[in-house]
Amino acid sequence: MSNETKRDVFEDLVEELASAYIALDGEGIGEDLTNEDKQAYLKDYDTALPDDLPVIPKRISKIIRILKSIKMDITQALMYIRSELNSYTDWSLLDNNSEIFARAWVLGVWRVEETGEIVKLEAEK
């Protein structure tokens, strides 16, 4: 799985089609978009990440990585996060962000708020 989102794949396809159109309209014949090219775009689209990834603070991102690595379940993780955040000011009002936390936990992928980095946890083997 790459770090491309569905939107990235779509934009690549649009650029490819625009280039082909410009070549057809301009000085020569553009390269055909082959069936293999089309299938490759469809495959890329299927494996791309959703555009609306949960966005969470860096500190919470680190905590999720640790808790997932020790095989904690989501109920335990939410209780742990609540107890941790009582002593910190990060991501105040977890109750308002618990659904975002849960989506990140279940998907195993999210965007870090401060850096824009996409974090993907490896699937269990």
3-state DSSP of 94-115: HHHHHHHHHHHHHHCEEEECCC
Q: Where are the domains of the chain?
A: 6-47, 55-120
pTM over 0.75: no
pLDDT value of residue 125: 44
87: which 2 tokens?
């002593």
pLDDT tens, 18-64? 676 555 555 555 566 677 877 787 888 888 888 889 999 898 899 89
Q: What is the pLDDT of residue 111?
A: 94
Note the pLDDT of residue 89: 56
pLDDT digits (tens, 9 = 90+) for 67-114: 999 999 999 988 888 777 665 555 655 667 788 989 999 999 999 999
Contacts of 124 (CB under 8 A, 6+ apart): none
Distances from the Cα of 81 to the Cα of 16, 20, 21, 51, angstroms: 45, 51, 52, 26
